[in-house]
Chain A
Amino acid sequence: MMDEKGLSLRETVWSQLDRKAGAIIELTIRQLRNRISTWVVLGVGFLLMILLLAFYVDSVREGFESIDNDGDSVDMDGDGYPLGQEIKYGHSDWDSNQFPGSSEFIQVSAIGYNDQVRAISGNYTWSGAGTLNPIWIDSNYVGQQWSGIINWFDVDNTSCPLGTVYEDWWPQYFGYGCHYENNEYFVYGKFTASGEIVVPDGSEMLWGYNTELFYVEPDPKSMYINEDDIDWNGILLQKSQGFDDDGDCLRYNWILDSEDGSFYYDNDGEPFDNDKNDNGIICDVLWLLDDDLDEIESIEPDSNVDEDPDDERYMGESSHRTFIIGVGKMAFVIMIGLFLPLFLALGLVRDETENGTLHYLLSKPIHRGEFILYRLLGYLAVTGSYVFMLSLFVGILTAILGPGEGIIRLSDIPVWLGIGFATFLVLAAYGALFNTLGLISPKYGVYISIVFGVWEFVMGILTIANPNWTLSAISINHWALQIIDSVVLLAWPDTLQLQQMASAFNLDTGLDIFWKPPAHTLGTANPTVAILVSIFVLSTFTILMLGIGQSVFKNREIM
Chain B
Amino acid sequence: MSDLNKKAPSILLEGVSKWYGEVIGINDISLAIEGGVTGILGSNGAGKSTIFKLLMGRLKPSQGTIRLFGIDPWKSTAPYRRIGYVSESERMYDWMTSLDFISTLARLHGMSREEAIKRSKHVLDFVGLEDVHHKKIGKYSKGMRQRVKIAHALVHDPDLIILDEPLHGCDPIARTSIMNVVRELGSQGKTVLISSHILEEIERITEQIVILHNGKLLAIGNLHAIRDLLDQHPHRILIKCENPRDLAKLFITSGPIYGVRFPDVGQLEIQTNNLSAAHDIIPSTLVESGQKITSIENPDDNLDSLIGYLLGGINDG
> Which residue numbers of A lie inside 8 Å of B, CB to CB?
1-2, 5-7, 11, 13, 15-17, 19-20, 22-24, 26-27, 30-31, 34, 355-357, 359-367, 557-559
Contacts and interface: CB of A to CB of B under 8 A. Distances in A.
Contacts of A361: 105, 108
A372 to B, nearest CB: 14
B78 interface: yes
Given A5-B157, A356-B89, A558-B58, A366 B77 contact: yes
A362 B104 contact: no
B56 A363 contact: yes
B156 interface: yes
B107 A22 contact: yes
Given A2-B122, A364-B80, A367-B77, A24 B89 contact: no
A557 B59 CA distance: 5
For the residues of B in contact with A, the DSSP-based class is loop
Contact of A20 (B58, B87, B107): B107
A364 B105 contact: yes
Interface stretch (B91-99, B172-180, B222-230, B268-276): B91-99
Contacts, number: 91
B23 interface: no
Nearest to B95: A34
A31 to B, nearest CB: 7
A350 to B, nearest CB: 15
B157 A1 contact: yes
Given A1-B188, A2-B157, A24 B110 contact: no
A471 B101 CA distance: 48
A399 to B, nearest CB: 39
A365 to B, nearest CB: 4
A355 B89 CA distance: 10
A367 B78 CA distance: 9
B91 A356 contact: yes
B152 to A, nearest CB: 7
Nearest to A370: B77
Contacts of A355: 91
B60 interface: yes
- Residue with the greatest number of chain B CB neighbours at <10 A, chosen from A11, A19, A357, A361: A19
Interface in B53-110: 53, 56-60, 77-81, 83, 85, 87, 89-93, 95-96, 104-105, 107-110
Contacts of A31: 93
Q: Which 5 pairs from chain A and chain B are nearest by CB?
A: A16-B110, A23-B107, A364-B108, A356-B91, A363-B85
A20 B126 contact: no
A21 to B, nearest CB: 10
Given A19-B110, A34-B95, 19 more contacts: A1-B188, A6-B156, A7-B111, A15-B110, A19-B107, A20-B108, A20-B110, A23-B104, A23-B105, A23-B108, A357-B89, A357-B91, A360-B92, A362-B58, A363-B56, A364-B105, A365-B108, A557-B60, A559-B53
Contacts of A27: 104
B265 interface: no
A542 to B, nearest CB: 24
B57 A365 contact: no
A359 B87 contact: yes
B69 to A, nearest CB: 12
B176 to A, nearest CB: 20
Contacts of B57: 362
Contacts of B145: none
A360 B56 contact: no
B58 A360 contact: no
Contacts of B1: 13, 365
A277 to B, nearest CB: 69
B119 interface: yes
Nearest to A5: B157
B202 interface: no
A96 B157 CA distance: 101
B108 A366 contact: yes
Contacts of B298: none
Contacts of A557: 58-60
Contacts of A5: 157
Nearest to B106: A23
Contact of B92 (A7, A357, A362, A558): A357
A359 B58 contact: yes
Contacts of B96: 30
B295 to A, nearest CB: 36
Given A1-B126, A1-B154, A1-B188, A365 B109 contact: yes
B89 A359 contact: yes
A307 B112 CA distance: 70
25 contacts: A1-B126, A1-B154, A1-B188, A2-B157, A6-B109, A6-B157, A7-B110, A19-B112, A20-B110, A22-B107, A23-B107, A23-B108, A27-B104, A30-B96, A356-B89, A356-B91, A359-B85, A360-B87, A362-B58, A363-B56, A365-B1, A365-B78, A365-B79, A365-B81, A365-B110
Contacts of B59: 557-559
B145 to A, nearest CB: 13
A47 B110 CA distance: 41
A363 B80 contact: yes
B178 to A, nearest CB: 16
B105 A360 contact: yes
A457 to B, nearest CB: 34
A364 B157 contact: no
Contacts of A558: 53, 58-59
A60 B154 CA distance: 63
Contacts of A365: 1, 77-81, 108-110
A559 B96 CA distance: 25
A514 to B, nearest CB: 42
Contacts of A362: 56-58
A370 to B, nearest CB: 9
Contacts of B81: 365
A13 B112 CA distance: 13
A559 to B, nearest CB: 7
Interface in B17-64: 53, 56-60
Contacts of B79: 365
B142 to A, nearest CB: 16
A375 to B, nearest CB: 13
Contacts of A34: 95
B155 to A, nearest CB: 9
Nearest to B190: A1
Interface string B139-156: 000000000000010101
Given A362-B56, A365-B80, A557-B59, A357 B93 contact: yes
A512 B194 CA distance: 71
Contacts of B87: 359-360, 363
A360 B157 contact: no
B119 A360 contact: no
Contacts of B188: 1
Contacts of A19: 107, 110-113
Contacts of A30: 96
Contacts of B85: 359, 363
A24 B108 contact: yes
Contacts of B56: 359, 362-363
A406 to B, nearest CB: 45
Most buried by B among A357, A367, A557: A557
Which of A7, A24, A365, A559 has the most B CB atoms < 10 Å from its CB? A365
B48 to A, nearest CB: 14
A27 B113 CA distance: 13
Contacts of A15: 110
B80 to A, nearest CB: 4
Interface string B208-238: 0000000000000000000000000000000
Interface string B150-170: 001010110000000000000
Contacts of B105: 23, 360-361, 364
Contacts of A2: 119, 122, 157
